[in-house]
Structure 1
Amino acid sequence: MTDKDADEQLAIIAARTEEIRTGLDSNFTEEQLQRPLSRRMVHALIAATTAATAAKLKTLAARVEAIEENGIRYLGNYQRATRYFKGDTVTHSGSLWVALKTVAEGTGPGSDPACWQLASKGERPVKHTTAGST
């Protein structure tokens, strides 16, 4: 299915939902409200829910596409004098960190959990020993 087909289907669903909403908004008597739902009414409710879900999915798909288009901004090793923005990634002490919001200069990864999130924990540093020592 192409984006054009999906847009056309979404337009049809939206139009049908509006028709259903108009019908549901009409005044019902108390007696009518106490009757079980008709098959048509159930189908109308399903159509309205489907349309609302389709609209939300379209919005989310556009957001995911924008995120994937930009990719990850890897900026190398953490620099104390650099300001980082939401989504920037850096390495610090062997681990990969992602900025969760704009980070002021000097706020190092791991120092403020509101600013940085650990993406990949690095290995512990290897201690090198001289030959013959234990």
Structure 2
Amino acid sequence: MTDIRQTMEAQYGEKAMERSLTIGEHYDAMDVVIEAYQKLKARVEALENHGVKFVGTWQRAQVYTRGHVVVQDGSSWVCIKDAAEGVVPSKSHEHWALMAKAGRDGKDSNR
């Protein structure tokens, strides 16, 4: 809303939003609103299309982007900030969040 107000005030003066607008100003205002809506719609679509993606076992030479999920030492990690080569999930909480901690392997179980 601030962008719309600023655009209208830049075009028609500081009091543009406090007075009755002419027909032409209404059309201009609608153009500004439509442009703001389209930008917001594009941002929402980008967010909705960027879910999580399982990419397998963590590899030291691989670059990961936000949303990638890897397995490292039996735990699952989700990349929360783009990670360069060699950024180890279990050692970089700035780039990775623990999704599921490795459980016991069951080899020591007495049945």
Q: TM-score, normalised by structure 2?
A: 0.54
Q: Please point out which of 110, 114, 122 is paired with 2:90.
A: 110
Give distance in 2, aligned partners of 1:101 and 1:116: 9
Give distance in 2, aligned partners of 1:122 and 1:59: 39
Alignment root-mean-square deviation, CA: 3.9
Alignment coverage as a number of residue pairs? 95
- Residues 57-96 of structure 1 aligned to structure 2 (within 5 Å): 58-92=38-72, 93-96=74-77
Q: Please point out which of 112, 117, 121 is paired with 2:100.
A: 121
- Bigger radius of gyration: 1
Deviation at 1:130, TM superposition (A): 2.7
Moved over 6 A (4+): none
Deviation at 1:100, TM superposition (A): 0.8
1:86–1:71: structure 2 CA closer, same or farther, 3 Å change rule? closer
Percent of aligned positions that are identical: 26
Give distance in 1, aligned partners of 2:15 and 2:69: 51
1:41 partnered with 2:18? yes
Deviation at 1:20, TM superposition (A): 9.0
